[in-house]
């Protein structure tokens, strides 16, 4: 791992987003909570939070970070049809928080996929990216 011992401790925040395309019927079933596996959005939200907390165990050489915030927004959309995913992660530390936000978005999308796959064989996960990072040596804004 990279030595971060000499880096300043700062408040750091990252926002990552992604999208999962669904068929209109799948979105309707999801919104009616009528899918076989249960409450899809609640499950995906919990999965995203768990993923953020486990990032250092999933990504080799990633530093474990004490998270101070993980906010997950899952927004159903009709155009394009699917779920927009946004995760905001915060920490106060010596290294960035972007991997936690990106991992959380990815796992939320995979959870949505898993919970909808029985009724939708055409789902596509895409657009996973870092939208914003603040608090370190380099800020990112997309």
Active site residues: 114
* Neighbouring residues of 44: CB distance < 8 A, sequence distance ≥ 6: 72, 74, 83, 85, 108, 109, 111, 112, 115
Report d(CA 119, CA 117) in Å as an integer.
5
* Three-state secondary-structure class, residue 27: helix
Q: Would you list the DSSP string of 112-131?
A: HHHHHTTT-S--EEEEEEEE
User: If you search the block for the tokens 């895409």, which residue do you land on?
Assistant: 126
124-134 β-sheet, strand order: 67-78, 81-93, 10-21, 124-134, 140-141
């Amino acid at each position: 791992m990279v030595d971060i011992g000499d880096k300043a401790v700062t408040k750091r925040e990252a926002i990552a987003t992604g999208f999962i395309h669904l068929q209109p019927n799948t979105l309707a079933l999801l919104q009616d909570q009528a899918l076989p596996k249960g409450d899809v959005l609640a499950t995906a939200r919990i999965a995203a939070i768990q993923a953020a907390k486990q990032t250092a165990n999933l990504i080799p050489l990633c530093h474990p970070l004490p998270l101070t915030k993980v906010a997950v927004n899952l927004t159903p959309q009709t155009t394009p049809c699917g779920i927009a995913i946004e995760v905001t992660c915060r920490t106060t530390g010596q290294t960035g928080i972007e991997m936690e936000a990106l991992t959380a978005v990815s796992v939320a999308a995979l959870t949505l996929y898993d919970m909808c796959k029985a009724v939708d064989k055409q789902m596509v996960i895409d657009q996973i990216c870092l939208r914003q990072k603040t608090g370190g040596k380099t800020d990112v804004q997309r």
